[in-house]
């Protein structure tokens, strides 16, 4: 557990970097073809948000798994809400810019997120991400140690 490069969540994020870059380039190209530079940049930002959401959740779960099962549960519940709030805030901010295309942003972030979730599912089916190691809850570990000591006597 000390070697952070072996954490399955970090491995999933690492493996998604190249497809994420390719998807951003594709979104940029499609946005440019349909709406020019503003739509291209809006679509690119949408894909960056999709990948950032995926990476943020994966890395936060990896961090939490080094703490406790309760922290994993808390992060798994709170992180998606926080990441969506960041995206909504960014969307509200970007809407104030004259060149920003909400439709291009939405048409990039929604399928981008679905593709990344599909990629994560595919990686899990191939074994990556299934070996999450979470340390035992400290209270439960102490109780188990006490029980083992009592049974040994």
Calculate the alpha carbon distances from 145 to 3, 39, 42, 136, 140 in Å: 26, 60, 56, 12, 9
Label residue 100 left, alpha or beta by phi (over 0 means left) and psi (-120 to 50 means alpha): beta
Can you give the residue range of the structural domain that contains 35?
4-152
Q: Give this prediction's pTM.
A: 0.77
pLDDT-flagged residues of the chain (< 50): 1-2, 4-5
- Output the pLDDT for position 35: 93
CB contact at 8 A, 56 and 67: no
- Output the pLDDT for position 138: 73
**How many domains in the chain?**
1
């Amino acid at each position: 557990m000390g070697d952070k490069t072996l954490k399955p969540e970090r491995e999933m994020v690492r493996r998604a970097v190249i497809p994420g870059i390719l998807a951003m380039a594709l979104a940029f190209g499609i946005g440019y073809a349909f709406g020019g530079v503003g739509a291209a940049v809006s679509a690119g930002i949408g894909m960056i948000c999709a990948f950032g959401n995926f990476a943020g959740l994966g890395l936060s779960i990896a961090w939490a798994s080094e703490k406790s099962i309760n922290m994993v549960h808390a992060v798994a519940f709170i992180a998606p809400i926080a990441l969506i709030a960041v995206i909504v805030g960014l969307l509200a901010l970007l809407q104030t810019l004259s060149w920003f295309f909400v439709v291009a942003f939405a048409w990039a972030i929604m399928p981008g997120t679905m593709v990344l979730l599909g990629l994560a599912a595919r990686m899990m089916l191939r074994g990556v991400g299934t070996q999450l190691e979470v340390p035992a809850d400290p209270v439960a570990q102490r109780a188990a140690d006490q029980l083992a000591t009592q049974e040994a006597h």
